[in-house]
Amino acid sequence: MFYLCGMSNPAEPAPALITDLSLRCIQSVEASLGLKLDGTQDTLPILDHYLELVPADAASEITDLIVPMCAAYFGEVVRASLGEGRWVIQDRATEQWRLEFGRCFFHFNPAGVVIEAIRTQDAPDWNAHFQVLDDDRSAVREALERLGTVRDRDYYRLAVRFECIEQTHILLCERRQRRSQPAGHFSSEVYAVAMGENKGTGSH
């Protein structure tokens, strides 16, 4: 486990790339469905419906347009709802992104989550699944199992994945409190060290 003092800023702005893509998602969904996304979790079922219109075997030219903008919007909904979250853009061309949190060690790739929502199956190379400390893994698994079973297709919906993210974040923060570990410990430098990256590489 890695520690670094300092509280991450929950109001840390998103990179311009993410802001632009998120706005493009809002515009695209409104043009396609006539419905306005407002940046809240309540609109995720609308985005799920939008993604259902994308064939699972859609050409890469289509997914290259849809995945990044929907991932940016989804990630921004998560950040707004949880009150924190940092974007790390490792490769703009291939959406090798990471959304990481400061109050607990927890990260995932929103682009991978969107790809799984389109394909309705796991995308192992996209880091969509939650990454947590080894000590927390069993507790997170048990907590998610208590949410109940869902149909295979529903499992990949963004609305369902959001609930899992929210519950995981709450659980991990509560576990830190019970261990008397101060919140806000996990800076971008901590993640870079933990993941074997050079300090500051790709951070925003």
Query: Mind listing the pLDDT tens digit of every residue in the chain (204 residues)?
Result: 222 223 344 557 899 999 999 999 999 999 999 999 999 999 999 999 999 999 888 888 888 899 999 999 999 999 999 999 999 997 766 668 999 999 999 999 999 999 999 999 998 889 899 999 999 999 999 988 887 766 777 889 999 999 999 999 999 999 988 877 665 578 888 898 888 875 443 333
Q: Would you say residue 180 lies in a domain?
A: yes
Q: Would you say residue 4 lies in a domain?
A: no
Q: Would you say residue 8 lies in a domain?
A: no
* CA-CA-CA-CA torsion sign (127, 132, 138, 139): negative
Taking the C-alpha atoms of residue 20 and residue 1, their distance in angstroms, rounded to an integer, is 35
Nearest 5°: the CA angle 78, 149, 81 is: 10
What integer pLDDT is reported at residue 107 of this predicted model? 95
Residues 6+ apart with CB under 8 A from 181: none
Total domain count, the chain: 1
Q: Would you say residue 11 lies in a domain?
A: no
Residues 6+ apart with CB under 8 A from 134: none
pTM (2 d.p.): 0.86
Nearest 5°: the CA angle 169, 174, 176 is: 100
Q: Would you say residue 201 lies in a domain?
A: no
Q: Would you say residue 165 lies in a domain?
A: yes
Q: Would you say residue 200 lies in a domain?
A: no
Task: State which residues form the domain around 74.
Answer: 16-194
Q: Would you say residue 49 lies in a domain?
A: yes
